[in-house]
Amino acid sequence: MSNMNQTGQGSDPKKMCPIADSELCEWLGRNGCYQCYISTLKTPEAKEKALSNWKTTLSYLPNNIDELHSTGKCQFCKSEEPEEMDGYATFEIAHSEPYAEKGLIFGLGKKVRTPVGSLLTMQVSIGKECRKAFRRIDFMQMGILILFVIAGFVLLMIPQISGPLANWFVFMPYLLVILMGLAGYFLGKNMAAAYEKKIAKKVRIDLREIKLIKQMLDRGWFFFQTTNGMPRVFFSKKKTYECLKPQRNLEIEEDEDEETLDNMNI
């Protein structure tokens, strides 16, 4: 969707903004030019550089990347008949391109290349049952830890328990809470691992098992801010975006070119 409704009739959009009606304009132009961060860039060269960077980002995406959220089916189901989607799973994924640099110390000093040139929030359609599976894992990992810590504080509220502990060693009540937290952490971690192993027969808990995500990883993308190799996954009923890679400007590629890009060791 173009945001040129803000520029006035009869004017050439390209003269007003170098990125007008481009892929980047379509991506950023949901709320009009005055809400677009490109308008804060001072020179046309800086705006054109932003457009060039965005095209570089798009070039590392599969052409059908929007099928992750547009098919109406859950992408996490392993069954031949996946369930209907009931929302979206979102996570962050990054790429080293395009080239970006910043100061070595807190953005100051000698400029060095940053490991992240592109950072995207991906949205993947997910069904009710698969979403429940992810949330159960989250509860086992964090919920049980929190419950054990709360239980530790509850125990300290009982004079028959807290009194003898404090008399024995002044810091013993605090150690009790810490030990309860550790117990909850390891119990929750083991329970989550066992549940993941069980549910993995039906649900793609490992995001790398999703075909399009696998293609992205083969093209040099990597999960951003991971725990045990996986990014933090959030859930939403609404879309974050309508389209990531517009079809109107896609160039027709040969199959052999796609295979070459998919197998690049970036």
In this structure, the answer to whether residues 42 and 70 fall within a common structural domain is no
What would you report as the CA-atom Rg of the chain, rounded to the nearest whole angstrom? Answer: 25
In this structure, the answer to whether residues 81 and 211 fall within a common structural domain is yes
E strand segments, the chain: 88-95, 101-105, 108-113, 118-125, 222-223, 226-227, 230-231, 234-236
In this structure, the answer to whether residues 64 and 194 fall within a common structural domain is yes
In this structure, the answer to whether residues 169 and 258 fall within a common structural domain is yes
Mean pLDDT for each 10-residue chunk of the chain (266 residues)? 43 64 70 68 80 87 92 92 93 90 68 84 94 93 92 88 78 87 94 92 93 94 89 92 70 45 44
Give how many domains the chain has, as a whole number.
Answer: 2
Which residues, in sequence order, are bridge partners of residue 251?
A: none
Report the alpha-carbon distance of residue 123 to residue 71 in Å, rounded: 12
| Domain finish residue from 38, 59, 80 | 59
Residue 14's pLDDT is: 57
In this structure, the answer to whether residues 6 and 138 fall within a common structural domain is no
- Pairing of the two strands 226-227 and 222-223: unpaired
- What is the domain extent for residue 240? 60-262
In this structure, the answer to whether residues 107 and 42 fall within a common structural domain is no
Residue 151's pLDDT is: 92
Residue range 132-156, pLDDT digits in tens: 999 999 899 889 999 999 999 998 8
Report the alpha-carbon distance of residue 60 to residue 43 in Å, rounded: 27
| Domain finish residue from 14, 43, 59 | 59
Residue 131's pLDDT is: 95
Q: φ and ψ at 51, to 5 degrees?
A: -65, -40
In this structure, the answer to whether residues 42 and 144 fall within a common structural domain is no
